Amino acid sequence: MATTPTRESGDDASLSSPKQNIDVDGQELAKTKSDAFTAAAVTIDCPRNEVFAFWRDFSNLASFMDNVERVEVLDSRRSHWVVKAPAGRTVEWEAVVTDEAEGQHIAWQSVEGADIRNEGRVDFRDAQGDRGTIVTATIAYDPPAGAVGKLIAKLFQREPAIQARRDLRRLKQLLEAGEIATSARTRAQHQQEIG
């Protein structure tokens, strides 16, 4: 049974604050010396093994992660990520799976030389009452330029804490409805309307 992260007496810090660095099972993220830490969760009305399999095919991640341009699967444990950054830039890194239990969790860490050092874990567990799967993403990362870089990313809506919540909601829509609802029109839709 998963344990719940606890606070020291008198500590009012959020459980997802950088000083805590605890994943969903109460375990510290490996070797975490990161400047930023975030955790987000969503319940998806799909079987756990189906949700896990979709996520485990890392090439699927760009279909619901708004800032991810692409994920190239290099082998069963390594992948190359290209992610949008503020001011029209991109950042890249290679990630390696550090721990995995089929249908339960996937943990990763960026390799040396990453534009943004990051690590994290995604847990998949059955929701009570046969309501699907609870997906919890826990991410620790070092924003470029430290606190200033984190502030700039937040201003441009590219900060991982903001994106994690949005991306999990998009994953829920994609797996439950087969598409992601959006109010934005594509260029092709606009052309059809005017022409």
Cα 72-119-169 angle, rounded to 5 deg: 75
Average pLDDT over residues 131-135: 96
- Please report the pLDDT score of residue 164 as a whole number: 83
Q: Percent helix, strand and coil across the chain, each rounded to 5?
A: 30, 30, 40
pTM of the prediction? 0.72
More confident of the two residues 67 and 12: 67
Q: If one looks up domain 36-180 in CATH, what number appears?
A: 3.30.530.20
**pLDDT mean across residues, the chain:** 77
**Is residue 45 scored above 90 in pLDDT?**
yes
Average pLDDT over residues 135-150: 70
Q: Which residues 6+ apart lie within 8 Å of 104 measured at CB?
A: 52, 123, 124, 125
- Please report the pLDDT score of residue 25 as a whole number: 46
Q: Which residues 6+ apart lie within 8 Å of 30 measured at CB?
A: 98, 107, 109, 119
More confident of the two residues 47 and 161: 47
Under the banding of pLDDT at 50, 70 and 90, the label for residue 29 is: very low
Q: Name the token pair of 84.
A: 């949008």
The pLDDT tens digits for 53-102 are 999 999 999 999 988 999 999 999 999 999 887 778 888 999 999 999 99
**Is residue 10 scored above 80 in pLDDT?**
no
- Give the integer Cα–Cα distance in Å for 17 and 65: 23
